[in-house]
């Protein structure tokens, strides 16, 4: 066991040193690291960004010996359950204000009617990054553009600050700069309607996100997002994770514009002849 632990510690140290010394290839015509590619996370953050144990469902009801799936999701069985996750929040817990934590808990209880993902609304930032779908970074010497498979969401990174966002929006306004090997993106101008995950973690229109994208190996980007919202949290907090390059030769973003898939859910009640529910 001691040999195993020693080997694991040495392996971790070796990976850390490799990440610190790695120098990514440059974008043609630029001195900045090349972030181009199709990337995807491998974690459970979209279920819950905090550490969590497995649960029978996201929507539950009281059972004779503990929580059981709520009626509307009961037939989904294990497909509707929540896998465990170690979490991506540095320090473990999100620093909610007491009244905001109470609202988060209420969001969990009313997940089926409140989670914007269910209705195919745009995912917001940073949630777009760690949903279970690929994203693509398109970078040139003059700019960076982010495209997401989920709901056809996109972001254009400004490198000249245009001033405050003219309107609040789901994806906010992104202003980028380079700090050595790291792309730093300052995102403001949000509405208050997106969530951080399926567990009711939320924000208001005062949300401010600072993202950091750093190539640490040929096929890994270290992603960090610092979250600030004085209406909800007692202090800024950070989440971090790895983005992995998709390796398939035919890797590409497919169309998953899910709005049409939820029309029956959102508008079906107003059909002249309603369908079975």
Kindly state whether residue 120 falls inside one of the protein's structural domains.
Answer: yes
Kindly state whether residue 200 falls inside one of the protein's structural domains.
Answer: yes
CA distance 148 to 152: 6
> Residue 156 belongs to what domain range?
32-51+83-270
The residue among 20 and 155 whose pLDDT is bigger is 155
Kindly state whether residue 20 falls inside one of the protein's structural domains.
Answer: no
CA distance 201 to 194: 9
pTM: 0.91
Kindly state whether residue 238 falls inside one of the protein's structural domains.
Answer: yes
Kindly state whether residue 233 falls inside one of the protein's structural domains.
Answer: yes
Kindly state whether residue 138 falls inside one of the protein's structural domains.
Answer: yes
Check pLDDT > 50 for residue 4: no
Around Cβ 224, how many Cβ atoms within 10 Å? 18
Per residue in 12-66, pLDDT (tens digit) is: 455 556 567 899 999 999 999 999 999 999 999 999 999 999 999 999 999 999 9
Q: What is the mean pLDDT of residues 104-122?
A: 96
Q: Give the per-residue pLDDT at 116.
A: 97
Check pLDDT > 60 for residue 9: no
Q: Give the per-residue pLDDT at 277.
A: 74
**Phi, psi dihedrals of residue 114, rounded to the nearest 5°:** -110, -30
Q: Give the per-residue pLDDT at 3.
A: 54
For residue 186, the domain's CATH number is 2.40.128.20
**Token pair of 10 as six digits:** 């040495």
Helix (H) / strand (E) element for 186: namely strand 182-188
**Token pair of 241 as six digits:** 């994770």
Kindly state whether residue 11 falls inside one of the protein's structural domains.
Answer: no
Lowest mean pLDDT among 1-10, 63-72, 146-155, 220-229: 1-10
Helix (H) / strand (E) element for 177: namely strand 173-179
Q: How many helices (H) and strands (E) does the chain have?
A: 5, 11
Q: What is the mean pLDDT of residues 94-113?
A: 96
Check pLDDT > 90 for residue 74: yes
Q: Give the per-residue pLDDT at 273.
A: 87
Q: Give the count of domains, the chain.
A: 1
Q: Give the per-residue pLDDT at 20.
A: 72
Q: What is the mean pLDDT of residues 107-125?
A: 96
Q: What is the mean pLDDT of the chain?
A: 93
Q: What is the mean pLDDT of residues 254-275?
A: 92
Kindly state whether residue 60 falls inside one of the protein's structural domains.
Answer: no
Q: Give the per-residue pLDDT at 121.
A: 97
Check pLDDT > 70 for residue 145: yes
Per residue in 233-242, pLDDT (tens digit) is: 999 999 999 9
3-state secondary structure 51-116: CECCECCCCEEEECCEEEECHHHHHHHHHHCECCECCCECCCCCCECHHHHHHHHHHHHCHHHHCC
């Amino acid at each position: 066991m001691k040999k195993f632990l020693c080997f694991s510690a040495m392996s971790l140290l070796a990976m850390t040193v490799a990440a610190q010394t790695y120098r990514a290839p440059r974008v043609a015509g630029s001195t900045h690291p090349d972030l181009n590619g199709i990337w995807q996370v491998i974690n459970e953050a979209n279920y819950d960004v905090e550490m969590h144990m497995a649960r029978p469902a996201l929507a539950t009801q009281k059972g004779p010996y503990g929580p059981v799936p709520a009626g509307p999701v009961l037939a989904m069985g294990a497909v509707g359950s929540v896998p465990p996750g170690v979490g991506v929040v540095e320090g473990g817990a999100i620093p909610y204000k007491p009244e905001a934590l109470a609202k988060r808990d209420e969001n969990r209880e009313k997940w089926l009617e409140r989670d914007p993902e269910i209705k195919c609304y745009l995912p917001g930032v940073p949630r777009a990054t760690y949903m279970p779908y690929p994203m693509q970074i398109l970078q040139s010497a003059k700019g960076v553009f982010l495209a997401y498979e989920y709901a056809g969401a996109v972001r254009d990174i400004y490198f000249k600050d245009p001033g405050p966002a003219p309107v609040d929006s789901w994806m906010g306004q992104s202003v980028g700069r380079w700090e050595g090997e790291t792309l730093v993106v300052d995102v403001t101008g949000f509405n208050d309607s997106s969530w951080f995950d399926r567990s009711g973690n939320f924000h208001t229109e005062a949300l401010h996100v600072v993202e950091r994208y750093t190539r640490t190996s040929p096929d890994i980007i270290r992603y960090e997002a610092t979250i600030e919202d004085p209406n909800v949290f007692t202090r800024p907090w950070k989440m971090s994770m790895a983005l992995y390059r998709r390796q398939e030769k035919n890797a590409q973003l497919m169309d998953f514009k899910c709005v049409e898939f939820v029309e029956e859910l959102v508008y079906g009640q107003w059909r002249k002849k309603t369908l079975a529910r």
